[in-house]
Amino acid sequence: MKMNELIEQKLQQLPQSPGVYIMKDANKRIIYVGKAIVLKNRVRQYFQSNKNHSAKVISMVNRIADFETIMTGSEIEALILECNLIKKHHPRYNISLRDDKTYPYLKVTLLEDFPRVIVTRHIKKDGSRYFGPYTNVGAVKESLKLLRKSFPLRTCKNMNVDRPCLEYHIKRCFAPCVGKIGKKAYAEMVNSVVLFLDGKNDILEKSLQQQMEKAAANLQFEMAASLRDQLASVRKTIEKQKIMTGEGNQDAIGMARSGRGACIQVFYIRNGKMTGRSHFILKNSEEETDEDVLTAFLQQYYNQTSSLPREVLLPCGIKEQSLLESWLTKEYGSKVEVNIPQRGVKKDIIKMAEENAEKYLKDEEERILREDAKTMGAVKELGKYLRLVHLPKRMECFDISHIQGSETVASMVVFENGEAKKSDYRRFKIKSTEGKPDDFMSMREVTKRRYEKLDEGEMPDLIIIDGGKGQLSSALEIIRGAGHLTVPVVGLAKQFEYIFTEGESDPVILPRRSDALYLVQRIRDEAHRFAITYHRKLRGKRNMVSILDHIDGIGPKRRKLLWDHFGRLDKIKSASVEEMAAVRGMTKPTAQAVYNFFAAQESFVH
């Protein structure tokens, strides 16, 4: 393997210590991050004979133009640094969790005098307790709904108020903002929430029972009734949960793999009960061993989660099992075991997690196939029905919108590989037909403005005109006249989605339930939506201008200034004299005139 002089020089200077190595390409982008017990031995392996390397490693090494190393004091420090760098840079050749930072958590703000439970997607070391992650947003909402019904903690950010809000009156909050509940009683409720989210429902049940009896003995019947309802909710939740191992806190991990990647399923077992589960898809894992995939997942997942169990159950062994145990123990503050169950209940849990991972992966593959059928599958089908020489990967569709010829606009939407590419959308204000409805002339203008100066290589694979034979002929006259002789142009009739093609009298009729028809309908509807949106915007601007025309001191220039600053008529109506006078180009007398005009209109209406 041929190496540049920089790499050869750095290989000679590699240290014998543990640490992290960072591979970079010619553009100085980080493409891989790894750790090593001995940096010198591990890094040099990449640049030796590649006969034992996988295709993925060979591809990566061919792109390495430089590398860096960071020495650490121990292998655990190298592991933590590696996880942080992967999370930060998302290197191309590392196995990585998909959307790992977007999963929501429930956060209990313990450092506040009266804590809240909120949803967050970012974990911070701020003294709060985090529970999750939840891959199902519906599960988060369901948990919050149950919590707020059973444990009425405050939801407001501001407690500086004079009277309680609606939440208090509908019994969803005890109104600590106005002293309706003391800190001690509120803290007991917060502790109950933490126990509930932590899965310690047996402890919670006993605690609520004792609090209820104490409140009843002290003749605090309203508080006792609230505690009774909380206890009933907890008992109902306990009945729904399935007893798994009898006792203990475990994360049971199952893995399934296919040609599209790997899926990891995590079962959260707290105090012997299943409290939840999450699934994760790992990218860049196709050529890796089960052991490497599992190791990469464990490192990245436990580097980001805040909820650590006493035991992690794995489906297979990994080389770094002892290192992982040491790291988790350090993070948790007490002993964490990593085990591979061989028999019994724990083995059954792993099997269940694997079955769930397989099902999710299968469902995901079927979803991808369905999406593909609606996108590239539909593109191929449309190309076949229209007898196109080349696959219409890029399609541009035009639509005209106006009201009796006023404010005529055109839209151009773009679909690539069967999906909308909104960044390439364009809209046109038609100038040639102002005041007279003429869709044919409008289509000539917009196609001329779009294609007259384009080179052949910049043309789309298919142009769709929303309209029948007349609109198609108008577009063809311009497009062919500009020298674009090969690009296919079709007209889509507004009724029945008949497609008219160049030189053919009979339309192409797509099968009623075909993916090609659904794709054409999506493109047509999107072009129509985009045109209508622009037309309404111009019409609203025109209406605003016509109203402002009746105000002394407001001419075309000041109309534009007001429109550009406020954006909408209702904002101009509600603006104060000072706000309008502050607009560049306005004066206080003209601002007063505008204000008086709309004030007079308002009083007339009333």
Return the minimum-mean-pLDDT range out of 229-233, 294-298, 558-562: 229-233
**At residue 78, does pLDDT exceed 80?**
yes
Strands 311-313 and 462-466: unpaired
Q: What is the DSSP string of 33-93?
A: EEEESSHHHHHHHHTS--TTS-HHHHHHHHH--EEEEEE-SSHHHHHHHHHHHHHHH--TT
Q: How confident is the model at residue 488 (pLDDT cuts 50, 70, 90)?
A: very high
Segment 439-445 shows an average pLDDT of: 86
Q: How confident is the model at residue 454 (pLDDT cuts 50, 70, 90)?
A: confident
Averaged pLDDT of the chain: 82
Segment 278-293 shows an average pLDDT of: 84
**At residue 403, does pLDDT exceed 70?**
no
**Rounded Cα gap, residues 244 and 267, in angstroms:** 10
In sequence order, the 6+-apart residues with CB closer than 8 A to the CB of 202 are 238, 271
**Rounded Cα gap, residues 527 and 531, in angstroms:** 6
**At residue 405, does pLDDT exceed 60?**
no
Tokens of residue 300, six digits:
């990245």
Task: Dump pLDDT digits (tens) for 4-27.
Answer: 778 888 888 888 989 999 999 988
Task: Dump pLDDT digits (tens) for 134-174.
Answer: 656 666 676 677 777 777 888 888 888 888 888 888 878 88
Place of tokens 């390397």: 53
pLDDT at 556: 79
Q: How confident is the model at residue 482 (pLDDT cuts 50, 70, 90)?
A: confident
Tokens of residue 115, six digits:
């804590």
Task: Dump pLDDT digits (tens) for 586-599.
Answer: 899 889 988 888 87
Segment 317-340 shows an average pLDDT of: 86
* The dihedral formed by the CA atoms of 477, 478, 484 and 489, expressed in degrees to the nearest 10: -60
pLDDT at 24: 92
Place of tokens 């047509």: 524
Tokens of residue 25, six digits:
């390409």
Q: How confident is the model at residue 211 (pLDDT cuts 50, 70, 90)?
A: confident
Between 214 and 51, residue with greater pLDDT: 214
What percentage of the chain reaches a pLDDT higher than 90?
Answer: 15
pLDDT at 606: 42
pLDDT at 604: 46
pLDDT at 394: 94
Q: How confident is the model at residue 605 (pLDDT cuts 50, 70, 90)?
A: very low
Decide if 342 contacts 322 (C-beta within 8 A): no
- Write the burial class of residue 249 (CB in 10 Å: 0-12 exposed, 13-18 middle, 19+ buried): buried
Task: Dump pLDDT digits (tens) for 540-564.
Answer: 665 555 677 678 788 878 888 888 8
